[in-house]
Amino acid sequence: MIGESINFMIIGMSVVFLFLIIMVVVLRCQGYVINRLFENGAVDTQEDNNPADTTSDLTDAKKIAIISEAVKQHIQQNR
């Protein structure tokens, strides 16, 4: 059974490496293609990846922001 478990280890690590190597290759191709086709969209990590949810409808649960904004405007108009 020890021998068998070593076999499991060999096949397991092979699959893990196979999987991640394929992933590396695919990611590189994908990055190459995307950056060729859409040149101006490159972003820094963690920037611009959450464009405001402008149109989705049920949502916009950002009442707080909206209300405080509204209050501000209301006060400004009444000056």
Contacts of residue 60, Cβ cutoff 8 Å, sequence gap at least 6: 53, 66
Shortest approach of other proteins to residue 25 CB, angstroms? Answer: 4
Taking CB under 8 A as the criterion, the residue among 52, 76, 77, 79 binding other proteins is: 52
Measured between alpha carbons, how far is residue 69 from residues 23, 33, 57, 72 in Å? 46, 42, 20, 5
Note the Cα 2 to chain centre separation in Å: 42
Interacting residue with a second copy among 5, 46, 55, 77 (CB under 8 A): 46
Residues in contact with other proteins by the rule CB under 8 A: 1-13, 15-32, 34-35, 38, 41-46, 48-53, 55-65, 67-68, 71, 74-75
